[in-house]
Amino acid sequence: MRKKIIAGNWKMHLNKAEAIELVESVLVGSKDLDLDENKIVVFSPSFVYLDTIVSKIASLSNVFVAAQNCSEYEQGAYTGEVAAKMLQNVGVQFVIVGHSERRQYFNETNIVLHQKMKQAFVHKLQPIFCCGEPLEIRENQEHFLFIQQQLENCLFLLSEEELLQTVIAYEPIWAIGTGKTATPEQAQEVHHFIRKCIAENYNATIADQISILYGGSVNAQNAAQLFSQADIDGGLVGGASLKAQDFRTIILSI
Ligand code: PEP
């Protein structure tokens, strides 16, 4: 059975005290959030707070921590990089790979992203693989082809076992941080397409088991409608994950 996942991507925001307070406020009375092994929450702080946030959630079930990135290399003279092995060592369980901001500002190619995913698997981290089209591609109605290529050039190089450990996040770039959300129908159409591509490249059973999250200006108002779509299994949430009450509402919307 595929899991429902709400993941908060904090990007390069918050200081340490704010990060701790945010987790505490989101999880206050965490029983009300109705989490179980098939409905989980993931926090993705900056590298420097990973250790702290891992300790903060250590006693809770169904709450996890993701890094926002990892190195494609195992270890070595790569100043400024953080290895998947180091993330595993501090108790991180997930890693975001291929966020559009990494692809765009740090020139991360599908080949590099594939290597990062390989590193994640070696060190028992589950990748949250992001894909999604820029505005001009959507306007030219070329988004299906664009996403198919992102999948084929990175994700579909994985083995069945690796793919089953992967979470996919469809994040149309025009919707990230813009306040412009894809309609539930637009998002569902792409999620369904991604699942169809997985079925064609692997099989229908695998396609049915993969969680596909939507990301792009998810907020407390639009979350329930997005999550009501058949192929949307949760959200990768940026801005709204920094506001405890909104993030709680989003968690409760699934
Ligand atoms: C994101 O950063 O992955 C994201 C979806 O951001 P936002 O929710 O702010 O659009």
Q: Is 99 a catalytic residue?
A: yes
What is the pTM (predicted TM-score) of this model?
Answer: 0.97
| Ligand 1 pocket at CB < 6 A | 9, 171, 176-177, 215-218, 236-240
Tens of pLDDT, residue by residue, the chain (254 residues): 799 999 999 999 999 999 999 999 999 877 789 899 999 999 999 999 999 999 999 999 999 999 999 999 999 999 999 999 999 999 999 999 999 999 999 999 999 999 999 999 999 999 999 999 999 999 999 999 999 999 999 999 999 999 999 999 999 999 998 988 999 999 999 999 999 999 999 999 999 999 999 999 999 999 999 999 999 999 999 999 999 999 999 999 99
* Cβ neighbours of residue 34 closer than 8 Å, sequence gap 6 or more: 252
Mutating to test ligand 1, I would choose from 170, 236, 249 the residue with most ligand atoms within 8 A of its C-beta, which is 236
Instruction: Report the 10 Å Cβ neighbour count for 245.
Output: 11
- Report the pLDDT value the prediction gives residue 179, as an integer from 0 to 100: 87
Distance from chain centroid for Cα 39: 14
- Which pair of tokens denotes residue 183? 């309609």
Instruction: Report the 10 Å Cβ neighbour count for 122.
Output: 12
Q: Is 139 a catalytic residue?
A: no
Measured from the CA of 241, which atom of ligand 1 is nearest?
8
- Which pair of tokens denotes residue 212? 């596909």
- Report the pLDDT value the prediction gives residue 147, as an integer from 0 to 100: 98
- Report the pLDDT value the prediction gives residue 29, as an integer from 0 to 100: 74
Query: Per the structure, how many domains does the chain have?
Result: 1
Measured from the CA of 130, which atom of ligand 1 is nearest?
3
Contact 211, 167 (CB under 8 A): yes
Tell me 239's DSSP state: G
Nearest CA to ligand 1 atom 6: 238
Contact 163, 198 (CB under 8 A): yes
As a whole number of angstroms, the distance between CA 117 and CA 158 comes to 9
Task: Find the CATH number of the domain harbouring 155.
Answer: 3.20.20.70
Q: Classify residue 115 by burial, with Cβ atoms within 10 Å: 0-12, 13-18, 19+.
A: middle
Nearest CA to ligand 1 atom 4: 238
As a whole number of angstroms, the distance between CA 58 and CA 41 comes to 13
- Report the pLDDT value the prediction gives residue 31, as an integer from 0 to 100: 77
- Which pair of tokens denotes residue 118? 């390989």
Q: Which residues constitute the domain of residue 148?
A: 4-253
Mutating to test ligand 1, I would choose from 237, 241, 249 the residue with most ligand atoms within 8 A of its C-beta, which is 237
Nearest CA to ligand 1 atom 8: 238
Contact 61, 44 (CB under 8 A): no
